[in-house]
Structure formats: structure tokens, C-alpha cells
Amino acid sequence: MNTKKIILYGIIGFLLSGVFFGSAFYFLVMRNNTNAVQSVKTYEYPLGDFTANLSNVRTYFKSSIVVETTNKKLIDTFQEKNAEIRDQIIKNLITKKPDELLTAEGQENLRTEIKVIISKIVEADEITNIYFIDYIIQ
């Protein structure tokens, strides 16, 4: 009976220490990571309205696009290269079929393609997101 108590106390002690160290790990390590992610400052730049015929002659795309970045200096670059950025996005849009852009997956693919286009033009990888304010295919 004495050895059973020792084993029981050992198991209880092991479990309590696991809870203690697990809680300490969460509050010291994991919680700091979420605060670091939340403290990243982002900046938005509206590229303006886009209207382009899609590869189907009778269908067009209309949207307002906003670029989000973590680098404030890129806002000036977006302004300087706005015409080139808009031109490359429109060139990309006219190759698309309506079916490619009507699904959520298609919209996400377009968002990724626009990020790549803009990153190449401004020669920076600090673009965090592309927002579509309007998204009409008609």
C-alpha cells in the first residue's frame, strides 16, 4: 500500500508539473508571438477603379483595388509607378475568362497574381494583401 501511494503521488506530481510548465510556456512564449503579430503597422494605397474587358468580348471586370503593405516608403513608389502597375494589372485581366474569376478560388488567384505583379514592379516583397472594394463581372 505504501508503494501505491508513492506511485499515485508521483503521477499527480507529474501531471501538476506538466500543467504548470504548459501554462508557463503558453503565457511566456505563445502569447508574446500573438502580440508581435498584432503590432505590425500596415499602410494602404488605393490603386483606383479598374474596368477591363475579359477574354470573352461581351464580359467585363470592374473593381476598386487597394494594396496593403508594411513599408510606408512603398506608398510613394506606388504613386510614382501607378501607371505601370495599372497597365500590368489590366494586361493580366484581359487574359482571364469570366469563369476563372467568378469563384472564391479564382478571386484568391487573382489577388495572388496582382501581388506578384506589383512586387516585381516596385521590387519589394512587403505587400501583405490586396483588397477588392468592388468586384463585378458582367
Q: Does domain 43-137 have CATH number 3.30.479.30?
A: yes
Residues paired with residue 137 on neighbouring β-strands, in sequence order: 61
Are 41 and 70 within 8 A, CB to CB? yes
Structure confidence at residue 55 as a pLDDT band (50, 70, 90): confident
Is 27 or 135 the better-scoring residue by pLDDT?
Answer: 135
Which residue type is seen at 19?
A: V
Find the mean pLDDT for residues 13-22.
84
Find the mean pLDDT for residues 3-9.
83
pLDDT of residue 37: 54
Tell the residue number behind the cell numbers 494594396, with chain if given. Answer: 67
The residues spanned by each domain of the chain are 1-39, 43-137
H/E run at residue 129: strand 127-137
Sequence-ordered list of residues with C-beta below 8 angstroms from that of 72, at least 6 positions apart, any chain: 41, 43
**Distance (Å, whole) CA 29 – CA 61:** 46
pLDDT of residue 75: 93
* Distance from chain centroid for Cα 123: 18
- Predicted TM-score of the model (pTM): 0.70
pLDDT digits (tens, 9 = 90+) for 104-124: 999 999 999 999 999 999 999
DSSP state letters, 47-59: EEEEEEE-SSTT-
% of the chain surpassing 70 pLDDT: 93
Are 88 and 78 within 8 A, CB to CB? no
Structure confidence at residue 33 as a pLDDT band (50, 70, 90): low
